[in-house]
Amino acid sequence: MTTRSGTARAGQYLALVCYLVFLAFPLLWLVSTAFKSPQELGSVDASWLPHDPSLDSFTAAFGQQPLARSALNSLIVASCAAAISVAIAVPAAYVMVRYRSAVGKAATGWILVSQMFPFVLVIIPLFLVLKSLHLINSLTGLVLVYVVWNLPFALWMLQGYVRAVPASLEEAAAIDGCGRLRTLLSVVLPLLTPGLVATVMFSFVTAWNEFFFALVLLKSPEKQTMSVILTHFIGAEGAADLGPLAAAALMATLPSLLFFALLQRRLVSGIMSGAVKG
Amino acid sequence: MRRRDFLATTAAAASAPALIGGCAGSPGDSGPLEYLSLAWQKESIEVNKALVAEWNERNPSVKVRYVQGAWESVHDQLLTSFEGGEAPDIIHDEANDLTDFAHGGYLADLRPLLPEDLKSQISRANWETATIAGGIYGVPFLHDPRVLIANRKLLEESGVRMPTVGRPWSWGEFEDVAKELTRSRGNSRTYGVAWSMKEPVNQSVNLTMSTGGAVFHRERGKDVIRFDEADYGVPELIHRQVNEDRTASRSTLGMAGSDTLPGFFAGRYAIVPLNFSFRQQVQQQAPDGFEWVTLPMPAGRGAPGGGQFQGVSPQTLSVSQDTSRKKAAMAFIAFMTRPDHMARLAEGDWLVPTGREALRDPALNTDEHGWSTGLRIASDLRASPVLGVRGYPEWKDKVATPAFQEYYAGSIGLRALRDKLVDDGNRILARYQR
């Protein structure tokens, strides 16, 4: 029995390792490509590690395009979009879960439907609306779009987390004299930490990676985001400046990874914090 | 439905309120003119920015702002900004992409704006590439023709005749050369040629001109598709090389041009038909000591122009219909396409300039990196048969790309290919010409 369970455990780990390798492959290949010389990039014998590691691709990428500026723009847009989306979604999700009504149900249905709209369906009307608000070519306009675009899914995610918080805890808080707002801030929010972290991550990464809205709405080179700048390394008929493209793509990936690394501990540690009532 | 078609439909639906509102305003009424550039290689971006800076210094009252665009997304970006009344004043694009924009009234007809010296610098054949329904909607300034890039050592070892622009290989000779260059050693095989066919339609159609074909024909005022012997000569040859002679690698059929280069450098393929601009990547990535040579495409015997005609879709500079400063925009285009400037732009992008004087620029007239080959074939370049054909993008994406890919891979025969291209294609074109 012990041997069998040991074998099963080993099999699980092996499957996990295989899965991680599968997931990590593109990133590792990206890192390797970014440090290869142009000659090595043109070699038919592709190697895992660059034979003669070089920073030439990074120098070229930074020299050709305003990468630092675009990274800052992406950071501003993604952070603001994530923060505002969650700030609106938390009370909205709470109300929709705790105060069930026909309107709430309809709103939930609409959230699902809204997720089915492709970007291209809304881009031209959206362009006209933002133009009338003088928000074309503005990071504020882009944040607004991302908030609206992220909000339905953020709301949908948070509803599940709010539903998981026992109503009895809130009743106990009410007996102790807490008002609705205090209950939300002191009782519900700590229990929602993993949900908040997950939603912030989702909103941040969605805004960080988004390309089409950013492409259409931002015209000035100094305002363009990282995802738009990356396409500038690709030419006609699929020709690509592979080294600088890989270097720039790696630079575009790092902030997301860093953000995940910082927040993932909160995702776990916050799961049941504050749930035990003495 | 592809994003491009879908966006076009959406744009049509969304344009109504914009028109009714009538408040879109003209972009660039004040402030600098916007110049959307698709330059993407380092040298090319540098030249563009330097020229913009030079213009701004000379013309402080009509400043131009450089805006970077991208080839991959330019169509969607332009369509949205045209609809929103926020299009750039000066637009860099490809002639192939102008058809729908010209028919949609988004681009200015340049005929009344073109200065005489610019008009005379560019040949009639080149102006035809940007002529749509009688109007001129862009200044064609750079070409990217197809050439053969070959491994010089393998060619010399095989003893085959080295072709020149004056005496290119015939397609028959090219087949023989490919056989001569194909070698098998155990499990490994050196192929005579590697056709990169990830996007097979443009090159398949453009090369038909060398055998007197066109695929797209004008009949009683309407565009129709035919696929007769002159049209399928080159596709049939490629199919034969891949599937019967096995002198062309099957594995490169799904590749883009860049993907074939590692195999080319490793000596796996002796010849790669690529666009002229790919020389930049070859020069940059080729291992030390690798010798390569740029050769003209083969010619079709008995076809017009000695069989050396090739269809091209040049890069163009256009003016937005919405801009209130069309003359200033045209003046900037004239500045950018001055012979010396056009030559600098061509050099930065590794392309062939369209201007007569630019073609004589000493910086380009060198045998190094195959420049002279490209410049000498310039007079054989003709407007691609697909230019100005409404519905071509839909035909290309929905019908022709999968059909050509299946044909080259040997999944379907010539008759099935013709049926798909012609029958399905003409139904699509008819929809656009009602």
Q: Which domains does chain A have, with CATH numbers?
A: 6-53 (no CATH), 65-275 (1.10.3720.10)
Interatomic CA distance for residues A257 and B16, integer angstroms: 44
Residue A268's pLDDT is what? 59
CA dist., res. A178 & res. B372, Å (int): 84
Grade residue B184 by pLDDT with cuts at 50, 70 and 90.
Answer: confident
Which residue has better confidence, A48 or A143? A143
Residue B412 contacts residue B243 (beta carbons within 8 Å): no
Tokens (6 digits) for B253: 């059929």
Residues 6+ positions from A157 with CB-CB distance below 8 Å: A89, A195, A198, A199, A202
Q: Does A125 touch chain B (CB under 8 A)?
A: yes
Flag if B70 and A212 touch (Cβ within 8 Å). no
The answer to whether domain B6-143+314-383 has CATH 3.40.190.10 is: yes
Q: What is the mean pLDDT of residues B343-368?
A: 96
Helix axes A67-98, A242-269, angle to 10 degrees: 30
- CA distance linking residue A157 with residue A196, whole number of Å: 9
Q: Supply the DSSP symbol for B143.
A: E
Chain B residues with beta carbon closer than 8 angstroms to that of A64: 42, 45
pLDDT of residue B254: 93
Q: What is the pLDDT of residue A69?
A: 92
- The residue-averaged pLDDT of B222-241 equals 95
Chain A partners within 8 Å of B281 (Cβ): 42, 239
What's the whole-number mean pLDDT along residues B359-364? 96
* Contact in structure between B76 and B7 (CB atoms under 8 Å): yes
pLDDT tier at A114, thresholds 50, 70, 90: confident
- Collect all residues of chain A within an 8 Å Cβ-Cβ radius of residue B277: 235-236, 239
Beta bridge partners of B34: B65
Q: Which residue of B has its CA nearest to A136?
A: B86
Highest mean pLDDT, choosing among A112-121, B6-15, B20-29, B242-251 = B242-251
Are the folds of B6-143+314-383 and B146-311+390-432 the same?
A: yes
A255: nearest Cα among A226, A276, A232? A226
- pLDDT (0 to 100) of residue A143: 95
Q: What's the rounded Cα separation, in Å, for the pair A80 and B159?
A: 66
Give the integer Cα–Cα distance in Å for A136 and A192. Answer: 35
Entry pTM: 0.83
C-alpha B360/C-alpha B369 separation (Å) is 17
Supply the pLDDT for residue B24: 38
Res B247: pLDDT:
97
Task: State mean pLDDT over B181-195.
Answer: 89
Tell me what percent of the residues of chain A surpass a pLDDT of 70.
93
Q: Rounded mean pLDDT of B96-118? A: 95
Chain B residue numbers with beta carbons less than 8 Å from the beta carbon of A39 are 285-288
CB distance B265–A42 less than 8 Å? yes
Does domain B146-311+390-432 match CATH 3.50.50.60? no
Q: What is the mean pLDDT of chain B?
A: 91
> Tell me, what's the pLDDT at A255?
82
Is the CB of A43 less than 8 angstroms away from the CB of B287?
Answer: yes
User: Does residue A42 sit at the B interface (CB-CB below 8 Å)?
Assistant: yes
Q: Using the 8-state DSSP alphabet, how is residue A187 labeled?
A: I
Distances in Å between the alpha carbon of B179 and those of B20, B222, B244, B267? 64, 42, 11, 15
For residue A129, how many other CB atoms are within 10 A of its CB?
16
User: Within 13 Å, how many C-alpha atoms sit on residue B307's CB side?
Assistant: 20
Nearest one of A235, A238, A232 to B200, comparing CA atoms: A238
Give the integer Cα–Cα distance in Å for A89 and A105: 16
Q: Is the pLDDT of residue B122 over 80?
A: yes
Give the least confident one: A37-46, B9-18, B250-259: B9-18
A253-271 mean pLDDT:
73
> Could you count the other beta carbons within 10 Å of the beta carbon of residue B415?
9
Region label for B391, one of left (φ > 0), alpha (ψ between -120 and 50) or beta (otherwise): left
Residue B245 banded pLDDT, cuts 50, 70, 90: very high
B330 by DSSP, 3-state: which?
helix
Domain extents for chain B? Answer: 6-143+314-383, 146-311+390-432
Going by their DSSP bridges, the two strands B269-275 and B188-193 should be labelled as parallel
Segment of A146-155, B183-192, B315-324 carrying the highest mean pLDDT: B315-324
Q: To 10 degrees, the CA torsion angle through B51, B54, B55, B59?
A: 180
- Min distance B366 CA to chain A CA atoms (Å): 24
Q: For residue B127, is pLDDT > 50?
A: yes
* pLDDT tens digits along A212-229: 889 888 888 889 999 999
Task: Find the CB nearest A238 among B38, B258, B261.
Answer: B258
Higher pLDDT, A49 or B26: A49
Of all residues in chain A, the one with the smallest CA distance to B279 is A239
pLDDT band at residue B4, thresholds of 50, 70 and 90? low
A110 has a pLDDT exceeding 80 = no
pLDDT of residue B168: 96
Say if A24 is an interface residue toward chain B (CB within 8 Å): no
How far is it, in rounded angstroms, from Cα B7 to Cα A275? Answer: 50
pLDDT band at A273 (very low <50, low <70, confident <90, very high): very low
Mean pLDDT lowest among A77-81, A230-234, B7-11:
B7-11
pLDDT of residue A242: 86
pLDDT in tens, B202-212: 999 999 999 99
| Residues A114/A119/A121/A127 CA torsion (nearest 10 deg) | 110
DSSP code for A135: -
Find the mean pLDDT for residues B29-38.
87
Count of CA atoms in the C-beta half-sphere (13 A) of B228:
10
Q: pLDDT at residue B387 above 90?
A: yes
Rg for chain B (alpha carbons), in Å? 22
Is the Cα torsion angle B338, B340, B346, B348 positive or negative in sign?
negative
Helix ranges, A45-138 (H): 56-64, 67-98, 102-114, 119-132
Q: pLDDT value at position B177?
A: 97
pLDDT band at B28 (very low <50, low <70, confident <90, very high): very low
Residues 6 or more apart whose Cβ sits within 8 Å of residue B298: B148, B163, B168, B169, B170, B171, B173, B174, B210
Q: How far is CA A132 from the centre of its chain?
A: 29
Among the partner-chain residues A60, A125, A131, the one whose CB lies closest to the CB of B86 is: A131
Token digits of residue A195? 């949900």
Test mutation, A37, A232, A237, chain B, max B CBs within 10 A: A237
Give the pLDDT score at B29: 56
- Paired residues of B294 in beta bridges: B149
Residue B10 reports pLDDT greater than 70: no
| Residue B200, pLDDT above cutoff 70 | yes
- CA dist., res. A213 & res. A151, Å (int): 16
pLDDT band of B21, cuts 50, 70, 90: very low
Over range A199-216, report the average pLDDT: 90
Least confidently predicted of A100-104, A126-130, B34-38, B412-416: A100-104
Is the pLDDT assigned to residue A276 strictly greater than 50?
no
Which residue among A39, A124, A231 places its CB closest to the CB of B73? A231
Contact list, A233 vs chain B (CB under 8 Å): 40
State how far residue B302 is from chain A, nearest Cα, in angstroms.
Answer: 31
Angle at B192 between CA B191 and CA B197, to 5 degrees: 80
pLDDT at A230 exceeding the cut of 80: yes
State whether residue A241 is helix, strand or coil: coil
Long-range contact set of residues A175-184: C-beta below 8 Å, sequence gap at least 24: A184/A91, A184/A94
Q: Rounded CA gap, A86 and A154, in Å? A: 7
ipTM of the predicted structure?
A: 0.74
CB distance A231 to B73 below 8 Å: yes
Confidence band, pLDDT 50/70/90 cuts, at residue A65? confident
Does B80 sit within 8 Å of A131, measured CB to CB? no
| pLDDT over threshold 50, residue B22 | no
- Please state which of the ranges A254-263, B14-23, B175-184 shows the lowest mean pLDDT: B14-23
CA distance B88 to chain A (A): 9
> What is the pLDDT confidence band of residue A3, given thresholds at 50, 70 and 90?
low
Q: Answer yes or no: do A42 and B144 touch at CB < 8 A.
A: no
Please give the pLDDT value at position A102. Answer: 81
Q: Which strands sit side by side in the sheet containing B315-319, from one edge to the other? A: B64-68, B33-37, B90-94, B315-319, B139-143, B352-353
- Residues in chain B within 8 Å Cβ distance of A222: none
B5, B6, B7, B64: which to substitute to probe chain A, counting the most A Cβ within 10 Å? B7
Chain B CB contacts of A121 under 8 Å are: 6, 10
What pLDDT, on the 0 to 100 scale, is given for residue A277?
A: 44
Is the CB of A232 inside 8 Å of chain B's CB atoms?
Answer: yes
| Percentage of chain B exceeding pLDDT 70 | 93
Tokens 């090319």: give the residue: B44
Rounded average pLDDT over A33-52 = 82
Give all strands (DSSP E) within B17-168, no chain letters.
33-37, 64-68, 90-94, 131-132, 135-136, 139-143, 146-151
Contact A52/B at CB under 8 A: no
* pLDDT exceeds cutoff 80 at B297: yes
